[in-house]
Amino acid sequence: MKLFVGLGNPGAKYAGNRHNIGFMAVDRIAADHGFPPFRAKFQGLVSEGRLGTERVALLKPETFMNLSGQSVGEAMRFYKIEPADVVVFHDELDLAPAKMRLKTGGGHAGHNGLRSLHAHIGDSYRRVRLGIGHPGHKDRVAPYVLSDFAKADQDWLDDLMRGLSDGAVALAEGDEARFMNAVALRTAPPRSSTGAAKVKPEEAPVPDASKAPEAPKSALQRLLDRFG
């Protein structure tokens, strides 16, 4: 059993906040992979299903961000799993928007959700750090993370969510390289060897028949052209 945890704050007021990108990630995985509706459990909302060969529980703590560890600890005790079986999706100020990094262990860097997790389950869980960018000054961090994503963010945000969902099976099965590649294919599509973006087949230019080279003329046709 694996436990995928999305960090965020409960309620419609916070649903579109940058701080709730973790909730958005597990919601997208649940929707794309046929998980049943979330139900109340473990001081949060949980849905159980399969990702490839692995049984996975998706958890969204309803305790508010700074008490997330209570919900996660309760779920871990119920499923009898270790921190190594836990994957936490959370917002990351120190990464540019649309960037994603995997990490196991380390500090919480002032993130209240991670601080709570450290207190309840230690630091040896895996983390999917989802870049939201930094507002530029520490005094602006709180209002920034508790504000909704801008309309200009929607394209990259959707690409990132698609990538996380595409790679969810690989992540559950422990293939981190394949997971990261799946995200990269959505957020940074491959380019040709010349550096130019690859052209989709439906976007390829259609040859102009009027500009096609003429077929060579026969000897008889050349004589007719000359004396006709």
Does residue 202 form part of some domain?
A: no
H/E run at residue 157: helix 154-166
**pLDDT the model gives residue 228:** 54
Candidates 19, 33, 90, 111; catalytic one: 19
Per-residue pLDDT band for 204 (boundaries 50, 70, 90) equals very low
**pLDDT the model gives residue 128:** 97
Indicate the range of 5-14, 91-100, 104-113, 151-160 predicted with least confidence. Answer: 104-113
Q: Contact 160/18 with Cβ under 8 angstroms?
A: no
Burial of 49: CB neighbours in 10 Å, binned 0-12, 13-18, 19+: middle
Does residue 207 form part of some domain?
A: no
Does residue 43 form part of some domain?
A: yes
DSSP-based three-state secondary structure for 49:
strand
CA-closest candidate to residue 87, choices 145, 170, 11, 178: 170
**pLDDT the model gives residue 110:** 84
Q: Which residue has the higher pLDDT, 176 or 206?
A: 176
Does residue 131 form part of some domain?
A: yes
pLDDT tens digit string along 136-174?
A: 998 999 999 999 999 999 999 999 999 999 999 999 999
Q: What is the mean pLDDT of the chain?
A: 89
Does residue 79 form part of some domain?
A: yes
C-alpha radius of gyration, the chain, whole number: 25
Q: Contact 63/44 with Cβ under 8 angstroms?
A: yes
Q: What angle do CA 106, 108, 114 make, to 5 degrees?
A: 115
Q: Which residue has the higher pLDDT, 105 or 96?
A: 96
Is 90 exceeded by the pLDDT of residue 195?
Answer: no
Count of structural domains, the chain:
1
Residue 19 annotated to the active site:
yes
Does residue 217 form part of some domain?
A: no
Does residue 195 form part of some domain?
A: no
Per-residue pLDDT band for 66 (boundaries 50, 70, 90) equals very high
Structural domain for 83, as ranges: 2-187
Q: Contact 69/119 with Cβ under 8 angstroms?
A: yes
Does residue 210 form part of some domain?
A: no
Determine the Cα–Cα distance for residues 56 and 86; give it in Å rounded to an integer: 10
Q: For residues 201-222, give the mean pLDDT.
A: 54
Q: Where residue 131 sits, what CATH number does that domain have?
A: 3.40.50.1470
Per-residue pLDDT band for 107 (boundaries 50, 70, 90) equals confident
Q: Tell me the whole-structure pTM to 2 decimals.
A: 0.82
